[in-house]
Structure 1
Amino acid sequence: MTAPALTPPPLSLYVHVPWCVRKCPYCDFNSHERRGELPFAQYVDALLADLDHDLPLVWGRTVHTVFFGGGTPSLMPPEQIERFLQGAASRLRFAPGCEITLEANPGTAEHGRFEGYRAAGVNRLSFGIQSFDDGCLQRLGRIHDSREAEAAVKLAQDAGFDNLNLDLMYALPGQTLAMAEHDLERAFALQPAHVSHYQLTLEPNTVFAARPPEHLPDDDAGWDMQERCQTMLAQAGYAQYEVSAYAQPGRRCAHNLNYWRYGDYLGIGAGAHGKLTLGHEQAILRRWKHKHPGKYLQTAGTAEAIGGDDRIEPARRPFEFMLNALRLVDGFTLTQFTRSTGLPAESIASALADAVRRGWLECDGDAVRPTELGRRFTNDVIERFLDEPEPEVPEP
């Protein structure tokens, strides 16, 4: 018997923009507060050099989505976004209708800027609103208020953007159930195509982790907010398709779906992470770039810009796959698992059977999906796939 072949999945491009106006106390992303004028022209040169260096890993493959994340990508002038996209499109094959998302902070919205992004090729915006309550925004350290948030969304809509995501958090310091409901009501009034709705967590190495804010809702209050808000989202026509993602029909985020389906993504920029399936080597590679913008600018396009490479051995692939796929309401198929990991379905049979027995997963032929109970205990379900013995992969 031969080993199943690793089949390269769809490819995305992630571009990290590491600067922001002010670091939020809950943020654990690679973001650095702006100090003076930012070197965006030099940074685009570095991004294209970085891309050139990694191109041999993806020769001949089509890019289906592009995502500018941060930091605050909306600090970057539209002409530099356009220059990068033109350079990238001359090096890579972009799929027709390629989804191109840019994260935007309402506090950096300016008249005319969204028209520029649209002209540059951006066709989806993701706004980091977090809340429409000014008190909550102040306690979160955000630089915008609720008025600016609404104005930014309307500016984008006036510029022709109809594919918009609003990021909202709940269980915020001092927040009540009624306040969480009101946040969603304000969001619905703006008619976004997509809503990301997730609980505030105190991540390690953040200001909030070191000095937790006062008046955080307890677990029961947070659960009440989650259940009530999920009901409101469904009633407003936003179908949940992932743990924290809700979309109107046909408006799921293709870029994030590719992550959750264990797709491939090329990561460029300071601190960017990528995951690539190397078909000719039958290997899965994770690569990340140096986090500090200064060092990245000096070394981009050379091996020195690479912060590390990690080959994902077969024993780790089931857990990695489930870490993503089990966030999806629709789950995955065993055929997809085999193609994405190069492992037979038998390699996860024991953990799968245990999760089904506990009522966490359900199987229907080739399809595997989390139950409502399983979605409540996603981390416990995923951890089951850490316990598997190293899979036996037959020699070809």
Structure 2
Amino acid sequence: MSQSKLPRVRNHIARAAAEQLDWVSYSARMSDALRTVIPHERCCWHTVDPGTILFTGSVNQNIGCSGSWLAHYEYEVEDVNKWAFLAHSGRLAGAMSLDTHADLSRSARHRSQAEYGIGDELRVSLVSDGIYWGAAAFLRDADEPCYTAEHVAAIAALAPALATGLRQSMLHEVQTAVTTLDYGPGLVVFDAAGNPESVSPAAERWIDEIVEVPAPSTPIESKVVQAVAARARAITPGTDPLELAARSRVRTRSGAWLLLYGTRLSGAEDGRTAVIIQPATPHEIAPVIAMAYGLSPRECHLTTLCIQGRSTKEMAHAMSLSVYTIQDHLKSIFDKTGVRSRGELVGQIFLEHYAPRWEPAASTPSGWWASGID
């Protein structure tokens, strides 16, 4: 592989990001562009909630894996190069062959899929400005050469640009159809071992709108649902009293937003968990949308105050800043989001992503502020 190819690939990434592709189209374009520097026969891409690092969508090419398999090996089993570790550590990328010292069988993940003719795996976490937005893996057939340190360095160098493009693409709809709210919250129940017990009809309908390519074989095998359930099982009782860790904000095919949250159930059988699926409220989605526009934490806070209808003086008091500093921050926010006024900003952040699709859901859980991968 020649390092001279990297500038060309970076230019391809920048052009794709400028085309305002949806994230499924963007990942397909990137798979093709990266093949010149990262040879692969199979690959997968996942979007994640930057606040909880749980999957919110997936695209697989020439590889099949169930949601239960992916959740088990990413959130429950110790293994090399888990995406969350790559993001937190700052390594961003790693090759299984290098991190198992050429003995792929040392990886539980590899042992579970070796019979399908899969060889080495190169993983990358897509982090932009310290915020973890997605993950990708590139796989070789068993009879193909393993990845090298040069491949790892190449994908790590490209990761920030890939992450920025993915972040921007998540603002665009996968399809233009508009969904109307004609059913209530859905429920999926799992036993203590993580086996599905039941799924409500409403949950099946919501899951059908989540972006997963190919679609899960059954609604309960949704990678997004299984990730939330795995996180709920993994949380030590009493350590997350507000149940914020097992939550995920998910944008559907139509551009609407869902909130999925997992919880332990009490009763005769200890260890059972449930995943609840319902429309997300504006308070829950505003932070992730603001970050998708590339706003800083302070700008995200200021955007939330705008949505609340605060005056400039009230914003200055709330943030312990001068009125002039608030005005400077507002100008930066307007530049990043492509608007000219606070009214347009609220329309961009709130109306475009929320009001056209949902009526407010009653008695929904309060949101949380997505502050990156800390």
- The structure where strand makes up a greater share of residues is 1
Whether the TM-score (by the shorter chain) exceeds 0.5 is no
Using structure 2 for the length normalisation, give the TM-score.
Answer: 0.25
Using structure 1 for the length normalisation, give the TM-score.
Answer: 0.24
